[in-house]
Amino acid sequence: MNRIELLANSNDDTVRLDVFISRKNQDLTRSYIKKLIEDGMVKVDGQIPKPSLKLKPGQIVEIQVPDIKPIETAAQDIPIDIIYEDNDIIVVNKPKGMVVHPACGNSTGTLVNAILHKCNSLSGINGVLRPGIVHRIDKDTTGILVVAKNDNAHISLSEQLKEHTMKRNYIALVYGVLKSQKGTIDAPIGRHKTDRKRFAVVPGKGKRAVTHYEVIELFGGYTLIRASLETGRTHQIRVHMSHIGHPLVGDELYGPRKPKIKAEGQMLHAETLGFIHPTTGSYIEFESPLPEDFKKLLSKLKKL
């Protein structure tokens, strides 16, 4: 357990507690600070406060930061496509059918298990089941993902996600013909009110979610689009496209019950990922070509 003590001065008058801590210690993200406060690991003048507490000069903030637990997830010799690797990050091309990290009932065969076989040092901020994982893509979504090797890299990448400065473009095949060549879907997403496995557009209750899209090509009654994420909610593209009446082909959760064409999982591919490198400060960008099953389906549609 690491103990940090901070003193509020005149410049900190009426500053929120979580903002104050993040300014004084940039190694801690706002979300992690909030969790520490909620877990009773932060005290102000000996008292457990709320994250929204506004400080007064002279108050003492004491923070107990738990030691990072050793990674317990098992390493497995599973082939993975590593696009790029250095001392801070690993950029991989995730195949269809692979879960990103272990969870209850699914402790092996994940991307994390595979990466641990290649690299035994990953960031520990997300705990023992999700080491290095900054962002996720669904099991049946293919494409680019960046993994952090250390906590400094993790914090930097997480902040870029939070500030919406990370470039994330996806290719998707959807049902129907979109009315316009370009568009933006700005609709809040939250849990579905009756099905806990699903998410939905929930006006007034969900978290803000913004997806930009543009048409790439038409295939009869189907459209190939490029979608750009401004936010990163769970199932965001799948939920948003279904919400406007154009669900993804192959999407069993949000698509039609009796699809006209068969596909193994939703036709969604993380094509482009761009971000500021945590150490060099330079912008880097990676691209991933469409997987074979996606290309075969497009070829089939062209012949119809």
Q: What are the residue numbers of the active site?
A: 138
Asked if 259 contacts 266 with a C-beta cutoff of 8 angstroms, the reply is no
Tokens representing residue 100 in the block: 């990103």
Asked if 66 contacts 79 with a C-beta cutoff of 8 angstroms, the reply is no
Asked if 164 contacts 231 with a C-beta cutoff of 8 angstroms, the reply is yes
* Cα–chain center distance at 84: 19
CA dihedral 167, 170, 171, 177 (to 10 degrees): -100
Nearest residue to 169 (alpha-carbon basis) of 201, 212, 131? 212
Return all residues near 281 (Cβ < 8 A) that are at least 6 apart.
none
Nearest residue to 80 (alpha-carbon basis) of 154, 166, 143, 168? 143
Does residue 292 sit in helix, strand or coil?
helix
Rounded Cα–Cα distance for residues 225 and 211 (Å) = 12
Does residue 16 sit in helix, strand or coil?
strand
